Structure 1
Amino acid sequence: MTTTLITGANKGLGKETARRLIAAGHTVYLGARDEAKGRAAAHEVGGRFVQIDVTDDPSVRAAAAMIESEGGLDVLINNAGMEPRLAGNAVPTPADTTVDEMRETFETNAFSMVRTIGAFLPQLQRSPEAVIVNLASGLASLTGLSDPSSPSHFYPGVSYPASKAAVNMITIQYAKAFPGIRINAVEPGFTNTDLNGRTGTQTVEEGAEIIVRMAQVAADGPTGTFVSAHGSLPW
């Protein structure tokens, strides 16, 4: 039985990914900061709840200890994240961007991945089918953001794409350091979730497709890649 943890799983892509992986036979821990919301989501999809705030060291260590005591982890899906928004749901432009905003965004989207991977690494290294899926974004692609013909070129924000570009770098370096673990970054697409103020153009079912697929890669599958449901993406 494959045991999977999904952070930020009480709603949106995390919850849909949990539902799909449970249907595929995984034992899934739905990680969430809010106990009531996390337990409700876990009950709804048939998973297990674990309280975890990925920005807090003691919380992450406690979640790791709990899961290890119940058998250990095979698959880690780093889904928890944030995108800054101004009043009226506007994306902050470079003129609006502050150091505090950058710091908060990086803490949630990038630093938390290092924290969470580090806490679960001993368990993952003992698993013969270890996988890490890091939620990146098409906005993490420097190629896309700098190309006027790319759909992502229009995006004006700084902190969100910068933090997701850091996620891609984290993915590459950890994949090189731990070849026994399949570690990949995924772009779920512009999905209609709370993260973007419900402005996305695709459903959570569509967005979860690539996450679910990469969570189930075999031990000889790809690692150190950046992919969407449509194939490889340029860094």
Structure 2
Amino acid sequence: MKTVLITGANKSIGFETARQLLGQGYYVYLGSRDIEKGEQAVSQLRAEGLSEVEAIEIDVNDIASVGAAREALGHKIKVLDVLINNAGIGGAMPQTPLETDITVFREVFETNFFGVIEVTQAFVDLMKGSEEPRIVNVTSGLGSMALHNDPAWKYYAVKPTSYVASKAALNAYTIVLAYDQRFTSFKINAVDPGYTATDFNHHSGPGTIEDAAARVVKAATLGKDGPTGQFFSDDNSPETGVSPW
């Protein structure tokens, strides 16, 4: 049975991703900053008959928490097949380049960028034992620099500065990480789940959580001939499913 760790998985897209992967036969380690909320999420899934799941306490903003989660998981398994870096924040709004306080930038980058790096570095040794290791970095269509410079883009006027910058940085990390592992069996990709109705955006998005999670799951379950180093976005590029960086 393949194993997967999903950060920020006690609700929303992360939770639905866990549900869908459980349905495909994965054993899910449901990462949650608040272990009580994580246990509640696990109880809900088990009530649905999805039993191969347990909560892992992990705060991606706290390197000690990440280390403790790695130690805890290492006592349970020797191989981690999939890592989904899902935890993320938007930061206080509005965000403009000249008026947003630097503390907002630091807070958003701590979760959306540095947290991903810390988690990836902590767990990659467990992944090296997998025959088909997969890393999925959940990004945003707003992380595309090419599209932000295109006045014809439908989201051209949407530019929450610290969030945009953090996701662009995450995309850059995905590129160089995939390049670094290009001669291995790793598949490492960034996935834009689309503008989805969640607590994150006060349920303003038109997309469903189910569709958003399915995009993440698709990248998490790529076969051996699947792509790596890609920025998948059905929202930005519905025809090809691949967004410009």
| TM-score bucket (shorter structure) | over 0.9
- Taking only aligned residues, the RMSD between alpha carbons, in angstroms, comes to 1.2
TM-score by length of 2: 0.91
Map of 1:82 onto structure 2: 89
Aligned to 1:19: 19
Residues 1:233 and 2:243 aligned together: yes
Measured after TM superposition, the shift of residue 54 of structure 1 is 0.5
Matches within 5 A, 1:123-162: 123-162=126-165
Structure 2 counterpart SS, 1:151: coil
**Does the 8 Å CA contact 2:5/2:29 hold for their aligned counterparts?**
yes
- Segments of 5+ residues of structure 2 without an aligned counterpart are none
What is the TM-score when the length of structure 1 is the normalising length? Answer: 0.95
1:67 aligns with 2:67: no
Aligned residue identity for 1:84: G
Shift of 1:188: 0.5
Which residue identity lines up with residue 12 of structure 1 in the other structure? S
1:49 aligned to 55, 58, 62, which one?
Answer: 55
Q: Deviations over 1:124-168 (max 9, x none)?
A: 111111000001110000111111110120113110010000111
**Structure 1: runs of 5 or more not aligned:** none
% identical aligned pairs: 44
1:20 & 1:217 partners in 2: Cα distance?
15
Structure 1 stretches of at least 4 aligned residues deviating more than 4 Å after TM superposition: none
Conserved 8 A contact 1:67-1:73: no
Give the Cα separation in 1 of the matches to 2:111 and 2:32: 13
Distance 1:55 1:190 in 2: 25
Alpha-carbon distance in 2 for matches of 1:11, 1:43: 13
Number of residue pairs matched? 231
On the 8 A contact 1:94/1:156 being kept in 2, the answer is: no
Q: Identify which range, 106-115 or 144-153, moves more after superposition.
A: 144-153
- Matched to 1:149, the amino acid is A
